[in-house]
Amino acid sequence: MMSSSFPIVRLKPKTKPQAIRHGFPWIYDNELVVDRRTRNIEPGTIAVLQDNERNPLGLVEVNPNSRITCRMLDRNLEASIDQVWLAAKLTRAYDMRTRLYEAPFYRLIHAEADGLPGVVIDRFGDVAVIQPNAAWADRLLDALVAALIEVTGVTTVLKSGSGRARALEGLDDVSCVMVGQAPDAAVPVTMNGATYMADLMGGQKTGLFFDQRANQEFAARLCKDARVLDVFSHVGGFGLAALASGAASALCVDGSAAALSLAEDGAGASGFEARFGTRKGDAFDVLTALADEGETFDVVICDPPAFAPSKPALEKGLRAYERVARLAAPLVREGGYLGLCSCSHAADLARFRGASVRGIGRAGRQAQLIHTGYAGPDHPLMPQLAESGYLKALFFRL
C-alpha cells in the first residue's frame, strides 16, 4: 500500500517534532490534532504522521483508544507493513539472539527496541509465545505468526492475552493456540545450570522471566555455601540459580501456590530437592515472620512485581520498594548480601536506588552497593525510550 492511500494524522502546533525525528517512537493523545476523523480511525490502522507544517515523519499505527495514540512503525513512507516487512524485523532480531545464546530459549522480540512496537515474543525451543500488546499487531497477528514460523522454524505459536498492556490498548484478554498444539505440561528451560519449569499457557506473562538471567548469574556468584532467601520467587529464579552454584540451601517465598509448585518441580529436575524449600504467603508478612523467628541468611534477594507501573503509582510504589528493603535487610547476616530488584517503568534507577537505600538505613544497616544489573541482551534498550530499560537490580553487601 502506497503512503498516499494511508490516512493522515498531524501533530499539534505546539508539539515539537524533534524528539520523534531523533527516534522517540510514541505520540501521546495530547500531542495530536484529534478531530472527529481521527477519533473514528479504526484501532491499529496505519497512517502517515505529519508535523504541524504537514511535513511527513513516517508511518505510524493509530489507536484512538490508547493514551499512546501513535507508535512509529517505519520512517520510510513507501514501506509496506506486511508479512515480508515483519519477517525482516524478525530476522534481524533472530540473528542477534542466535549469536548470544546456544539454546533457543530467550526473548526474541522486545517491542520497540526490536522495531515491532508493543510486540513481545519469547521463545521456548519449538514453541513461541506472542504478546501482541498493540492494536496494529493484533490486526496483523496472522501475518506475524506466519513470519515467525518462516524465520525461526518454531512449530507451535501461542498467543498470550494476559497483562496490563493489552487492557490499556483496549484489547481482549484471550489467550489461545495460534498454530500447533499447546504443551500438555510445563516446559523445562535450562539457565545458569538449573532447570526451570515454564507454564506457557497458565503462568505469568509468557511463562518465564528471561530478563533476570544475567542478574541471577551474578547473584549465584555470591551464593557458594550460602543460605539463600529468594522472595517473590515466581518459579524459583534466583533460588535455583543459587543452588546450581553451590548454595547450601535456598528458601523460595511467593504468594502463588502454582508458581511454588513449578519451583519445586524445577528443583527436582535439577537434583536440588534436598537443599530446596518453599514458603507460601504474602511476601511482606513472610519477611516479618522470618524476622520474628530470628532467621538470618547469607544472601537475600527480593524481586517483586512492578509496584510503580505508571507515573500515578510512582510514590506509592517507591514506598513499597522502601518497605521491602526495610523488612529484608534485618534478615541478612553481617557481611551478607542483599539483592533488590524493580521492573517498574515509572521508577527510574535513581529513584529506586534511593528508596532501597532509605529502607536499608531505616532497618539500621550500613551497605555497600557492589553491583547494578539490568535486563539481559535479549531485552535490548531503545536509547530514546527509557521504558524499554525497565529492569533494575541492585546488589548490596551489608
Task: Tell me which residues are annotated as active site.
Answer: 343
Q: b or e along 101-138 (b: 16 or more beta carbons within 10 Å of the residue's beta carbon)?
A: beebbbbbbbbbbbbbbbbbbbbbeebbbbbbbbbbbb
**DSSP-H helix ranges across 101-228:** 135-139, 141-152, 164-168, 213-220
Q: b or e along 165-195 (b: 16 or more beta carbons within 10 Å of the residue's beta carbon)?
A: bbebbebeeebeebbeeebeebbbbebbebb
CA angle centred on 290, ends 287 and 292, rounded to 5°: 110
Give the separation between CA 283 and CA 263, rounded to whole angstroms: 16
Q: Are 167 and 131 in contact (CB under 8 A)?
A: no
SS3 8: strand
Q: Which residues pair with 194 in a beta bridge?
A: 191
